[in-house]
Amino acid sequence: MSNQHPLSIELANQTPHPSKPQEAIAVCIFEDAPHVSAIGLGDLQGDCEALVRDGEFKGEAGTSQLVYRAGPNGLGARRLLLLGLGSHSDFDASGLRRAASMAAREARAGRIKHLHFMLPDVEGGNERLWTQAVAEGASLGLYAVDFYRQKEDEGPELERLTIIASAETEALRADVSRAKVVADAVNWARALTDEPGAFLPPRELARRAAEMATEFGLRVESLDADEVRERGMGGLWGVGRGSEEKPALIVLRYEPEGAARTDELWAFVGKGITFDTGGISIKHGLDMYEMKTDMAGGAAVLGALRVIAQLKPRRRVIGIVPAAENMPSGHAIKPGDVIKTLAGYTIEVVDTDAEGRLVLSDGIAYARQLGASGIVDLATLTGSIVVALGDHRTGLFSNHDEWAQSVTEAARRAGEPVWRMPVSDDYKKRIESPIADFKNYGGRPDATAAALLLSKFAADTPWVHLDIAGTAWHEEDQPHAPKGSTGVGVRTLVELVCGEGPKP
């Protein structure tokens, strides 16, 4: 459920002369010269430069300021929203995207209905990329998590964004509409992730996935709990069996027009734990609170499929989300139990809180059964990756250098940076069990052990594992986003399938 106000985005190539109090002009300001960066600001250029000269605004990244300037001939007041972009050397599309998100948030807080955004004027600039970043950023910035807060009429909302570019072209218009498709899907995935666990058990996640699939023309091939058990998906079944809410394997398929069954198929597998109590190895205290977001990987996969269905690339893609609620009960798996996975391997469950790798092992095995030639899994998998990389880098693990490189490039273009970590049998002691083929927990370093275990299920299929435990959620309000989920992964997957970069 999301209550986001729709934002209409248009393009213009003329200096805006807003006259209404509910309008403002957003201007990018750099820390280093030239500070004021806009094409065709007209008489406002001098005004902005004066503000920077007077030290009123320094242009630090993540800062903004709303100022009032007298209109021409001293009549009326014009609002300027100054946006800090940091230094020119750090400038890129992700910085601009964040600045646009911040602008939208500030505009909303300032009761501005119509924001005119001046694209920055930087050397070697790419207006198409900038336009896309601003359109995406502004839409992402308006994401709000207060679904269940009662609202009084709080006054005007930001309704219109006019992006001021040097020319208004067909290509730029297409970039804006693509940006809207992407941002809407990211916000849709965020809303799923921020939904409380009680409102989004596996069957509801499956229902919402199917509803989205019908709306955008994807095929639904999901399996219910009985099928999961009968097919021998002991990892997913084992994790789900402690809950009153039955597990499900959500499967959505995108087939481009005229695709042959022999064409390559890429599979995206997302961890879909709708709530992670830890099971019998129960979590304590505040560790549990964030665990409604333990299906962020699944939401990212669904969000990416939602975009792919609209952008229609020439590539077969399947999305697989093993969904379960990890709960303790008389039916739950216990530490020491052994489960048998779809791939045939057995796993000793040393700790029921290491459940993500159990459901993913079946998700990855199923992707292989369906004939995937490349796999990317996304999972809020380990606290260990949060310790290692915090919330600024996603951990990337892979068994295939070229595939890893493609995903890394896509993530860079998407502004969702990853950092490669090892997959190596050096760590195999951590997953060796005296009683079964593997065990699911062997002490630290856990992110590395978890990835090694998953690699056994990927076998010789090119595979990338993205541990997004640190990047899926902001613990605090940010200038560009509220406390809550980030939708990380959606844009990386979209770039991978629909972007320009190198492919294996």
Residues that bind Mn ion (CB under 5 A): 276, 353, 355
Edge-to-edge strand list for the sheet holding 346-348: 338-340, 346-348, 438-439
DSSP classification of residue 427 = G
Is 201 or 499 the residue whose CB approaches Zn ion more closely?
201
Q: Between the CA of residue 481 and those of 101, 106, 395, what are the distances in Å?
A: 7, 11, 22
Q: Is 446 an interacting residue with respect to ligand BES (CB under 6 A)?
A: yes
Kindly give the interhelix angle for 170-194 and 490-498, rounded to the nearest 10 degrees.
140
DSSP notation for 41-75: -TTHHHHHHHHHHTTS----TT-EEEEEEE-GGG-
Choose the catalytic residue: 69, 160, 207, 283. Answer: 283
Q: Which long-range contacts (CB under 8 A, 24 or more apart) does 412-415 make?
A: 413/495, 413/499, 413/500, 413/501, 414/491, 414/492, 414/494, 414/495, 415/92, 415/93, 415/94, 415/97, 415/491
- Interaction of residue 380 with ligand BES, rule CB under 6 A: yes
**Selected catalytic residue, list 357, 430, 439, 456:** 357
**What number of CA atoms fall less than 13 Å from residue 357's CA on the CB side?**
31
Region of 262-270, 289-297, 422-430, 486-494 interacting with Zn ion (CB under 5 A): 289-297
Neighbours of 402 (CB within 10 A): 13
Using the minimum distance from each CB to ligand BES, give the nearer residue, 37 or 485.
Answer: 485
| Local structure of 239: helix, strand or coil | helix
* 283 included as an active-site residue: yes
What phi and psi, each to the nearest 5 degrees, are found at residue 287?
Answer: -55, -25
User: Is residue 240 a contact residue for Zn ion (CB under 5 A)?
Assistant: no
* Of positions 23, 184, 276, 325, contacts ligand BES by CB under 6 A: 276
- Helix, coil or strand: residue 375: strand
Torsion of CA 46, 51, 57, 63, to 10 degrees: -50
**Closest distance between ligand BES and the C-beta of residue 173, in Å?**
39
Q: How far is the CB of 244 from ligand BES (least distance, A)?
A: 20
CA pair distance 114, 209, nearest whole angstrom: 34
Of the residues 194, 325, 348, 355, which one makes contact with ligand BES according to CB under 6 A: 355
Strand partners, 162: 10, 116
Exactly one of 303, 356, 395, 484 binds Zn ion (CB under 5 A); that residue is 356
Q: Which residues pair with 154 in a beta bridge?
A: none
**Which of residues 79 and 292 has its CB atom nearest to Zn ion in the complex?**
292
Binding of Zn ion at residue 467 (CB under 5 A)?
Answer: no
Q: Does 159 bind ligand BES (CB under 6 A)?
A: no
Question: Which one of residues 386, 410, 458, 498 is an interface residue with ligand BES (CB under 6 A)?
Answer: 386
Options 245, 353, 377, 409; binder of ligand BES; rule CB under 6 A: 353
Nearer to Zn ion, 137 or 298 (CB): 298
Is 294 among the residues that bind Zn ion (CB under 5 A)?
A: yes
383 binds ligand BES (CB under 6 A): yes
Please select the residue that binds Zn ion; options are 276, 377, 409, 495, rule is CB under 5 A: 276
Residue 384: name its binding partner from ligand BES, Mn ion, Zn ion, none (Cβ under 5 to 8 Å by kind).
ligand BES
Q: Can you give the binding site for ligand BES, defined by CB under 6 A?
A: 276, 278, 290, 294, 351, 353-356, 380-384, 386, 441, 446, 469
The catalytic residue positions are: 283, 357
Residues lying near Zn ion in the complex (CB under 5 A): 273, 276, 294, 356
